[in-house]
Amino acid sequence: MPLSYILLSITAFAVLFGFAHRVLDRMKMTDTWAFLVIVGMIIGTFIPNLHITKYVSINVGGAVIPFAVSLYLFLSAENNRERINSIVVSILAAVAVYFAGRFLPAEPEAMIIEPNYVYGIVGGLIAYLFSRSRRAAFIAGVMGVILANVAQAVVNSITGVKGAVPIGGAGFFDAVVISMIVAVFLSEVIGEVREKIQGGTSKKHLELKHGSMASSLTDVFKEGGKEDEKDKK
């Protein structure tokens, strides 16, 4: 079974049992919708590719559905700053994936890991490192691989190379899934750790008083004020 199917199956179970509810809520996606998207991506890989040109085709499960979800998340972004961040990081991820394909050995046997897995990991890492939200990380993780495929198709057309480019299809489906999951997983896990650390640091100057959190510094000023009033009397 391809790694992408295994990862999507694990993600589907996580969604069903509510483990992904928090991250989906932050991305404005319901559990039901996310589960249907995952199932749709898997089923979509069995649908014949949609041919754009003689050598360029697009896969429903690996490109059409992920792109549609990314478009929804892009349009539902909270502000233009997040949209711009999504676009910029998607381009950065695409450049990284494209050049990874250019510099990696042409023969998969020369590598200890499947090249498409590397593309997915590279795209996911770039998407996480430069994104400022889970939503932007998902968009960049998906679009980084898809745009890299599109760039390869354009280069092939310009240089006259007649190699087939299945956008989101064949092994590129693995890359899309891995990139998407790596980006969101890192954003959620590391983001949670960072928020807890920052939250703990910001409350270090607070102490529990009368059943509620109160600032020690504020209490000092209050106590000082009371002493001043006593002196005046």
What pLDDT score does 233 carry? 46
What pLDDT score does 43 carry? 96
| 165-167/56-58 β-pairing | parallel
Distance CA 230, CA 197 (A): 42
In order, the DSSP letters of 109-178 are GGSSS-HHHHHHHHHHHHHHHH-SSHHHHHHHHHHHHHHHHHHHHHHHHHHT----EEET-TTHHHHHHH
Please answer whether residues 37 and 69 qualify as being in contact, where contact means their C-beta atoms are separated by less than 8 angstroms: yes
Question: Which residues are CB-contacts of 92 (< 8 A; sequence separation ≥ 6)?
Answer: 126, 130, 140, 144
Q: Is residue 135 packed enough to be buried (19+ CB in 10 Å), middle (13-18) or exposed (0-12)? A: buried
Query: Which amino acid is it at 195?
Result: E
Beta-bridge partners for 213:
208
| pTM over cut 0.85 | no
Low-confidence ranges of the chain (pLDDT < 70): 1, 106-110, 199-233
Task: Give the H or E element holding residue 233.
Answer: none
Query: Of 28, 27, 9, 7, which Cα lies nearest the Cα of 17?
Result: 9
Distance CA 8, CA 35 (A): 10
What pLDDT score does 180 carry? 94
77 φ/ψ angles, rounded to the nearest 5 degrees: -60, 150
What pLDDT score does 226 carry? 47
Please answer whether residues 82 and 69 qualify as being in contact, where contact means their C-beta atoms are separated by less than 8 angstroms: no
What pLDDT score does 220 carry? 37
What pLDDT score does 108 carry? 62
What pLDDT score does 71 carry? 96
